[in-house]
Structure 1
Amino acid sequence: MTVSLILQRNRKRRLEQGHPWIYQSEVQTATAAISPGEVVNVVNHQGVFLARAYANPQSQIIGRVLTYAADEMIDESFLIRRFKQAQVYRQRLLGDLRSSRLIYGEADFLPGLIVDRYEQILSVQLLTAGMERLKPQLLQALRQVYHPVGIYLRNDSSVRRLEGLPLESGVWWGEVPEEIEIEENGLRFLVNVYTGQKTGYFLDQRTNRTAIAPLMTGWSTSQGEPRGAEVLDCFCHTGSFAVHALAYGATHVTAVDISEEAIAQANHNLEINHFVGQATLRVANAFDYLREAAAAGMHFDVIILDPPAFAKSKSALPGARRGYKEINLRAMRLLREGGFLVTASCSYAMNPEMFREVLLEAAVDAHKVLREVRWSGAAADHPEILGVPESHYLKFAILEMHTR
């Protein structure tokens, strides 16, 4: 007999509006004890069926919706259907990309599951007890639909602790080399699926990296001769923006990251794309480097800021706001007149309106006026569900700067 999760009478009707999460505070009772990851029926206070979800009484998010069909079994066949639906969506919008996000959790109606493809390798995150419980079926479905040569588990996200799950990583199936060379926008990048950020690479910025192309040419020397842009790339990680900037015509890129390992990989990515000698790589704290550059009287045509998340929870927002304001303010002071600020925030807790406020506050303090060239989010393989603000994490802006 399937356990039913009975919801409170006086709750917000988020579930009926398409939100896939059910919080502990929204639940009146359950018809029996629930084990972590167990599939349950979700009903309202009158017993009317709403959805099927997997549940975890140890988590504040007690339920995550899998289907709105009362008779749909959650098994290997269900997973195969979901994978094929996601495949059709991506084929239509992206074509035959060999490296992309295949499954993006709730947005692909598989909450708690992340699957990225790097050529013939899959990098997978199981973030919830529900997905952990489906592990055998997931492995078979992934192999049947995507035909990889190897699958690597990156279950090292701290989110798993909220579900009462251990952190772990390792080869799940097949053969997985530690490093894989992928192609993005006609360029080559080395991805470390064992230790790289997220599942190995920031696939979500793929289309935003192409958006910087018009900024890289059309500049002039003091003698009026045409030249490419002089670019500063802070928080450069493994150099994906830097390599794109040079490919699109930048004269020189200064790339800064606090991680020696990231800088070493950025150097390799520059080498395999034949841009050695056109970039200066610095292992440094980006905040410190921005201060040093100002003290040295340096200026740039384009500055790229793509920092890690400063706020992973609402309680961290005040400090995050100060951090985002400081780096953007310092960048504005280093830009030449008419230069471009390329800036991003991947903090879930900072919504788009708040990020705009921070950028405006920085512009006011710097006595600058910003003209919006582009405002976007993640690439199409990272879709969002309307009405689920938690799925909107990446904010990306290109702003033209003028002094007032």
Structure 2
Amino acid sequence: MSETIVTLKKGEGRTLKAGGMWVFDNEIESIMGRFENGSIVTVHDFDGYPMGRGFINQNSKIRIRLMTRNVNQEIDHEFLRNRVRMAWEYRKKTVDTGSCRVIFGEADFLPGLVIDKFSDVLVVESLALGIDRFKLEIVELLKEELLKDGIRIRGVYERSDAKVRLNEGMERVKGFLSEEFDTNVEIVENGVKYLVDVRDGQKTGFFLDQKYNRLAIQKLCKDARVLDCFTHTGSFALNAAIAGAKEVTGVDASELAVEQAAKNAALNGVQDRAKFICRDVFELLPELEKQGEKYDVVILDPPAFTKSRNSVKNAIKGYREINLRAMKLVKDGGFLATCSCSHFMTYELFTETIGQAARNVHKRLRQVEFRTQAPDHPILWAADESYYLKFYIFQVVDEK
């Protein structure tokens, strides 16, 4: 089949030239040659300079996702094997691999693909048409790579049920990519046991990106009274309890999440100190304030309040409100752990919003540390979408 050449408009391709991996629909001047959506094309700058090879999809505003900058590189079995090997070798050097994100899309140069390892189970999320064609091959290559280190994968489950697949002209799908297995998988992270529901849990079943942020709060929680908001399946709450907190309350609006959190507390033998309630955090925090409640540590781990630039203003209001309320509930000299997992809520915006909240309630913040996502979710500079998690720990001091 003859090569398909995509030529960019003059002055476009800024993302690619800065090291990114996307070409948007409005950056393209011409397409020469026959192709079908999902197939590999070669990208040239306006003057014919070769910029790389990637897969094209005319259903998506992200028209091309680059796989390699080498225009002579075949996207074949050996190419994929090398990408998978690089991803796994990186994880072995940077994180606890008992459970971790093994492939993180563009940041591992496999755009649109996420693979999480939960103990001896893999969960696959495919978000782009081009990579979908390679997904099964990549899974087999990853299983071979893990086996070299004595890790035998007993099951693979697909969670390609995110809405963004619709933007690619793809259906949302989920199901087994292996023999069926019990989809409640037990993992251990930071010494805490969890049952991960890979079939019906959020995203791929568990948020691995907060692994070391959860560990960071342990030292603050010994003998503490702790409030964990948006607890999901109890991850921060359980780290607090394991670290010796005297009382932990976890709050989430999902009944299913609260049930799972209670099971996880029992699994760790801390059900006497870690309790979970199903409530809307925005409604609960003012009630706790009226009741005069105070906590040594308050943790805010909300879902992304914005998934587009259009809703950032409303998101700012939401982040300001919960941080303001949380600061009022922290004892003088206590601690606030707060985060945002929205790419569109930038570091600068998030920092400014927390500062506004503190000024509004006359609190002074002493920054203990600033953190981001765990290294198995690497931030690829120039691929802005790979940097999304911002995590602060503050000591909250009353103005005197």
TM-score normalised to structure 2 length: 0.96
Q: Is it true that 1:178 corresponds to 2:183 in the alignment? A: yes
CA distance in 2, matches of 1:143, 1:169: 20
CA distance in 2, matches of 1:49, 1:384: 26
Aligned residue among 223, 227, 230 for 2:225:
230
CA distance in 1, matches of 2:125, 2:153: 16
Aligned-partner SS, 1:246:
helix
Select between 259-268 and 169-178 the one with higher mean Cα deviation.
169-178
Deviation at 1:13, TM superposition (A): 3.0
Q: Is it true that 1:403 corresponds to 2:398 in the alignment? A: yes
Deviation at 1:388, TM superposition (A): 2.1
Once the two structures are superposed, residues 206-242 of structure 1 have per-residue CA deviations (whole angstroms, 9 ceiling, x without a partner) of: 000110122113xxxxxxxxxx110000100101111
Alignment match, 2:29: 28
Q: Is it true that 1:300 corresponds to 2:281 in the alignment? A: no
Structure 1: tracts of 5 or more residues without a match? 218-227
Deviation at 1:393, TM superposition (A): 0.7
CA distance in 1, matches of 2:273, 2:135: 46
Deviation at 1:292, TM superposition (A): 1.2
1:196 maps to amino acid:
G
CA distance in 2, matches of 1:140, 1:270: 35
Once the two structures are superposed, residues 257-298 of structure 1 have per-residue CA deviations (whole angstroms, 9 ceiling, x without a partner) of: 111111111011111111011022111001111011011111
Alignment match, 2:280: 285
1:260 maps to amino acid:
E
Alignment match, 2:198: 193
Note if contact 1:234-1:307 (Cα within 8 Å) is conserved in structure 2.
yes
Note if contact 1:105-1:112 (Cα within 8 Å) is conserved in structure 2.
yes
Deviation at 1:12, TM superposition (A): 5.1
Aligned residue among 195, 201, 212 for 2:217:
212
CA distance in 1, matches of 2:268, 2:189: 12
Deviation at 1:174, TM superposition (A): 2.7
Alignment match, 2:239: 244
Alignment match, 1:105: 105
Aligned-partner SS, 2:80:
helix
2:366 maps to amino acid:
R
Alignment match, 2:332: 337
CA distance in 2, matches of 1:107, 1:352: 19
Q: Is it true that 1:9 corresponds to 2:4 in the alignment? A: no
Alignment match, 1:165: 170
Note if contact 1:337-1:401 (Cα within 8 Å) is conserved in structure 2.
yes
Alignment match, 2:318: 323
CA distance in 2, matches of 1:21, 1:139: 24
Note if contact 1:7-1:42 (Cα within 8 Å) is conserved in structure 2.
yes
Identity over the aligned pairs, expressed in percent? 40
Alignment match, 1:19: 20
Deviation at 1:34, TM superposition (A): 3.5
Structure 2: tracts of 5 or more residues without a match? 147-151
Q: Is it true that 1:362 corresponds to 2:357 in the alignment? A: yes
CA distance in 1, matches of 2:33, 2:227: 58
Alignment match, 2:66: 65
User: After TM superposition, where is structure 1 displaced by more than 6 Å over at least 4 residues in a row?
Assistant: none
Note if contact 1:75-1:137 (Cα within 8 Å) is conserved in structure 2.
no
Alignment match, 1:132: 132
Alignment match, 1:220: none
CA distance in 1, matches of 2:17, 2:188: 41
2:112 maps to amino acid:
G
Alignment match, 1:91: 92
Note if contact 2:13-2:23 (Cα within 8 Å) is conserved in structure 1.
no
CA distance in 2, matches of 1:33, 1:24: 17
Note if contact 1:300-1:336 (Cα within 8 Å) is conserved in structure 2.
yes
Aligned residue among 245, 268, 271 for 1:273:
268
| RMSD, aligned CA | 1.2
